[in-house]
Amino acid sequence: MAEIIPTISQVKSEALEIFQKEFGKDADVCVFAPGRVNLIGEHTDYNEGFVLPMALPMVTMIVGKLNGKSTCTIVSTSKSITTISKIEFEVSDRSKVVPGEPKWANYVKGCIAFFPADVSGFDAVIVSTVPMGSGLSSSAALEVATYTFIEALTGVECKDLRDKALICQKAEHQFANVPCGIMDQFISVMGQQGHALLLDCRDLSVTQIPMDGIDNYAFLITNSNAPHKLSSSAFQERRDAFSHVINENSRTLAATAAFKAGDYVKVGELMNESHDSLRDNYEVSSNELDTLVNTARKVAGVLGSRLTGAGFGGCTITFLKKDSVDLVIKAINESYSGTASFYIATPSEGARKLDCK
Ligand code: ADP
Ligand code: MG
């Protein structure tokens, strides 16, 4: 069975309840930002190429309230964090907002440090349904949710969504020390329900690509539960492997055209070629990912399957007829030596503020 993904309103209720328990008062600001899955265009974003991600129904929710102090207190809880983690740090004097321990707080601190206005003390609770370290970009979801939260708290909103995404990326580069591309923050900020986002990383232009024709088809994410290591040295070395990148760019544009034309067989072929190139030319696949992809491809009704995200573990995405979802899950459960989890990815909306009701 694919995992049941809690709805936005369920995640919100949970976060509001935890806030009330932790701080003994009601939150008056509530925001979320989604994780993402990349349909095609892998390792192209930091090479000034094209990517085609969509926002996921799995989100990072932040609720909170100003506290009248110079410090903030943030509690994070997530399916992937078994114990609640709590941090407190100075925010009013931004020269004191610097990276440190615990590491997860650096994603939050970076967004505060680079926010274009002063931030007063606040209390907040973070609840996330985005699996962490699986290539579905819980890191960008955390950054973009943090930025959106501070926008709501201060009333200072970014006029150009590109700037918002770029500041979140800067937080990940400089505070978390991860040399990520720009795709994750862009889609988490700009995602639209029912659409994928074609992003040209050369000039940061974006085109919303409607996905409403795919009613009889589904995107099945399979998490290998073998965590990826984004800051590993292998990833850095492969930043020079351009031949993959040139062909991957052509595939991404061809897949966008095929989605628009309703040529889903072509989309699937391009996804397969993308994986094969990531495995053979860019060398970022793993035995686990290859097993998941090969098993899915053998099932009738599967149009294409590839690793998604940076590689070295993490997830695969399979484009298939809806009727075939259970067959693929069964085939993987029978042949995969690890324990996989499964999510149906529907193209969802980007970050926004919600009512606290
Ligand atoms: P991915 O972005 O693919 O999930 P990363 O390694 O880039 O993987 O980011 C995962 C890291 O982001 C976690 O190890 C943690 O430090 C941080 N993180 C993400 N979401 C949360 C959260 N809700 N609470 C605390 N830390 C989080
Ligand atoms: Mg990440």
In a mutational test of the pocket of ligand 1, which residue from 81, 101, 104 has the highest number of ligand atoms less than 8 Å from its CB? 104
Residue 290 among the catalytic residues? no
pTM: 0.95
Report how far residue 121's alpha carbon sits from residue 112's, in angstroms, rounded to the nearest whole number: 11
Q: Identify whether the C-beta of residue 36 lies closer than 8 Å to the C-beta of residue 137.
A: yes
Tell me the CA–centroid distance for residue 132 and ligand 1, in Å.
5
Report how far residue 66's alpha carbon sits from residue 124's, in angstroms, rounded to the nearest whole number: 9
Radius of gyration of the chain measured on its C-alpha atoms: 20
Q: In the 8-state DSSP scheme, what is residue 303? A: E
For 170-237, the DSSP string reads HHHHHTS-----SHHHHHHHH--TTEEEEEETTTTEEEEEE-GGGTTEEEEEEE------TT-HHHHH
Tell me the CA–centroid distance for residue 323 and ligand 2, in Å.
31
Catalytic residue among 118, 163, 184, 323: 184
Q: Which atom of ligand 1 lies at the shortest distance from residue 178's CA?
A: 7
Report how far residue 244's alpha carbon sits from residue 282's, in angstroms, rounded to the nearest whole number: 6
Q: Which atom of ligand 1 lies at the shortest distance from residue 135's CA?
A: 3
pLDDT of 342: 98
pLDDT of 145: 98
pLDDT of 231: 43
Pocket of ligand 1 (CB under 6 A): 60, 76, 78, 103-104, 107, 126, 128, 132-139, 142, 178, 230, 309
Report how far residue 88's alpha carbon sits from residue 123's, in angstroms, rounded to the nearest whole number: 9
Residues of the chain short of pLDDT 50, as ranges, are 231-233, 236, 240
Instruction: Judge if the upstream peptide bond of residue 102 is cis by omega within 30 degrees of 0.
Output: yes
Whose C-alpha lies nearest to ligand 1, atom 11?
A: 139
- Which residues, in sequence order, are CB contacts of 64 under 8 Å at separation 6+? 19, 27, 29, 74, 122, 123, 124, 125, 149, 153
Tell me the CA–centroid distance for residue 103 and ligand 2, in Å.
13
ipTM of the complex: 0.99
pLDDT of 234: 54
